[in-house]
Amino acid sequence: MNDLPKPYLTGHFTPVTDEITAHELTVHGTLPPELNGRYFRNGHNPKPGITPSHWFRGEGMIHGVRLAGGRAEWYRNRWVKTPYLDGVPFTGTELEVSAAATNIIFHGGRYLALQEANLPWEVTAELDTVGVYDFGGKLTSSMTAHPKEDPVTGELHFFSYSPFPPYLTYYVASQEGEIIRSQVIDGSGPSLMHDFAITREHAVFVNSPVVFDHAEHSGIPYRWHDDVPLRIGVMPRTGAPKVTWFEVEQGAILHVTNSYVDTQGRVVLEGPRYDRSAWETSWKWWIGAPGYGVSPDAGSTFHRWVLDPATGKASEESLDDLATVATAELPRRVPAGIHGHWIEDQK
């Protein structure tokens, strides 16, 4: 019996117990008057008295700050009131029973709270829960919590992964929020696929050795398997949907930092990489098992993969030997953090 306190319920991970609304906040220093909008941040925040079996299974709570004209007008925090939250009546499908705790985005005029095993949940600009959102019935599977918005077209690129066929499905939604593309990606497997990347010309997918395993009883049924390689798939965003899979040195990628095409036409992917030891130490933290480290993401190191669709060859390098912690494993991207979103007021 493990009597250790769960690390994701202690220290600065201690859950917030109340929903709060505060107006006209004190500002120390000066806020740029050009900042007019909202910053929302989502995360796992179990209700009092609930100890989830895995860090990723805590109920979702969104924190928000409204900035305008150099003032901090309000702060508020709200649980996303999905069926996963205790006491909410529900008669829908399992796909809708989401903790909605991983991320929040704004697209097509909607604020969407995301968790990758489920459909999105819509909230208002004041963080009140609206309900489950399925893109007008066109999304019939789960949605990744880390979609990518093309800054030129405004399109939203995302995927759904599953432990059962079809393992991977790719979606594109228009700037207005209508799904305009949906296709099954060949060659994928039952891998834990938390994130992906896009370049101007490609979508980049990751199949890691962390795959579906019904023997894992933490509530997140995935484990590391030594006989499964790390593979990175590169697919053109236009034209024939042919995916080139590159097998590289075994490791796991949870989040990606950047992807682009270099001057030689090769696709470059960058991000933190786990070896087996680092992954298992992190997993122990996530489930609160004996032997966990000081950080939820201790041991991953920053890597670069260079993938050549013309030759099918891949190379990789470690960009540093510093074992990263959460600030690097959760890389930041403009204009928002990986689990938060800044939304400008509409002109």
Residues at the annotated binding site? Answer: 146, 194, 255
CA distance 106 to 152: 16
Q: Residue 1 has what DSSP assignment?
A: -
CA distance 222 to 163: 9
Residues at the annotated binding site for Fe cation? Answer: 146, 194, 255
CA distance 130 to 80: 9
* Nearest alpha-carbon partner for 81 in 48, 130, 44: 130
Number of other CB atoms surrounding residue 156 within 10 Å: 23
CB 300 within 8 A of CB 272: yes
Instruction: State phi, psi for 198 to the nearest 5 degrees.
Output: -130, 150
Instruction: State phi, psi for 340 to the nearest 5 degrees.
Output: -140, 175
Q: Residue 324 has what DSSP assignment?
A: B
Bond from prior residue into 335 cis (ω within 30 degrees of 0): yes
Q: Which residues are bridge partners to 107 per DSSP?
A: 110
